[in-house]
């Protein structure tokens, strides 16, 4: 009867919470022996072992039965995959505590309800290291090497390190596929003894490019927008620089002339 109540209760909860997918961590079964109708059996019990075929198990130094046939059957029937906590946003957390106490481990099962990361968000890897024994020339050379790869950005931040030494924090933002080459470049081109890496997400604005045929020459304009109506635009720096050099003007003069030309043409 208790197994029937467990199974029905879980199914009602999953329907009520509108759960689309169940992902479980590897399953700890416990250790020791268990008295059954046929005598003393090692843990996990035969029925539990049969149900756990094809499911990854996790070691846990706890004496006693941690996974019952009912629990194993529920995971077998409902869990789609087994592994670490997936990428997502936690919206709710639930805990269920058992009556038995273990010396080193809490007898608790935790459930996380998670939502997918919005599709328009991109995953990033942030690689960082700190150095306090490199010259400015060597740091500049390392930055040049980093920008030879397809990274989003790399920059230096002044920091204080151990023994009050002034140092530099090197930060590199890249796609996950470039994280390894960024790490190798930092280890090779700097004096650091290790590289920290964390994951993050970003919400990039939708971007497009427009070419303006101004009297001073062609200048590209970058447009950026979001679905909720935020719009930004900026002149391409390299085009402004080229025009300024060609006409012996300051950068600000080129910007103002381009802006005035756009404003006049918008009235026509």
Q: Name 88's Cβ contacts closer than 8 Å, sequence gap at least 6.
A: 114, 115, 116, 117
Residue 268 has pLDDT above 70, yes or no: no
pLDDT in tens, 152-187: 999 999 999 988 899 999 999 999 889 999 999 999
Over residues 78-90, the mean pLDDT reads 86
Query: What's the full length of the chain, in residues?
Result: 268
Residue 136, both tokens: 């400015």
Class of domain 122-202: alpha beta
Helix (H) or strand (E) holding 53: none
| Cα angle value 150/155/157 (rounded, 5°) | 160
Backbone angles phi, psi at 97, to 5 degrees: -105, 140
Per DSSP, what are the bridge partners of residue 173? 126, 153
Could you tell me which of 80, 87, 159 has the C-alpha nearest to residue 117?
87
Task: Note the pLDDT of residue 199.
Answer: 87
**Cis bond upstream, residue 233 (ω within 30):** no
The answer to whether residues 125 and 175 touch, using CB atoms and an 8 Å cutoff, is yes
pLDDT band at 101 (very low <50, low <70, confident <90, very high): confident
Residue 4, both tokens: 């029937």
Using left for φ > 0, alpha for ψ between -120 and 50, and beta otherwise, residue 217 falls in left
Domain boundaries along the sequence of the chain: 2-115, 122-202, 206-267
Residue 176, both tokens: 């996950």
pLDDT in tens, 1-53: 888 999 999 999 999 999 999 999 999 988 888 888 888 888 888 899 999 99
Task: Note the pLDDT of residue 163.
Answer: 86
Distance CA 235, CA 226 (A): 19
What three-state secondary structure class fits 123? strand
Residue 195 has pLDDT above 80, yes or no: yes
Task: Note the pLDDT of residue 106.
Answer: 85
């Amino acid at each position: 009867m208790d197994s029937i109540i467990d199974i029905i209760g879980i199914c009602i909860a999953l329907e009520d919470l509108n759960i689309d997918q169940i992902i479980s961590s590897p399953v700890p079964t416990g250790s020791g022996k268990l008295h059954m109708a046929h005598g003393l059996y090692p843990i996990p019990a035969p029925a539990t072992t049969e149900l756990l075929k094809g499911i990854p198990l996790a070691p846990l130094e706890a004496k006693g039965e941690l996974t019952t046939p009912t629990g194993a059957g529920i995971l077998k029937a409902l869990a789609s995959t087994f592994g670490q906590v997936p990428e997502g946003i936690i919206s709710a957390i639930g805990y269920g505590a058992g009556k038995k106490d273990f010396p080193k481990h809490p007898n608790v099962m935790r459930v996380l309800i998670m939502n997918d990361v919005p599709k328009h968000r991109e995953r990033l890897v942030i690689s960082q290291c700190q150095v306090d024994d490199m010259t400015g020339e060597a740091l500049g050379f390392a930055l040049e090497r980093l920008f030879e790869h397809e990274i989003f950005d790399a920059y230096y931040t002044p920091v204080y390190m151990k023994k009050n030494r002034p140092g530099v924090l090197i930060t590199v933002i890249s796609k996950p596929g470039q994280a390894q080459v960024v790490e190798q470049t930092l280890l090779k081109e700097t004096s650091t003894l290790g590289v920290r890496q964390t994951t993050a997400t970003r919400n990039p604005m939708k971007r497009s490019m427009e070419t303006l045929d101004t009297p001073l020459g062609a200048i590209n304009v970058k447009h950026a927008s979001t679905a909720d109506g935020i719009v930004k635009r900026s002149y391409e720096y390299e085009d402004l620089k080229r025009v300024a050099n060609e006409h012996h003007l300051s950068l600000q003069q080129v910007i103002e002339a381009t802006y005035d030309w756009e404003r006049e043409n918008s009235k026509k």
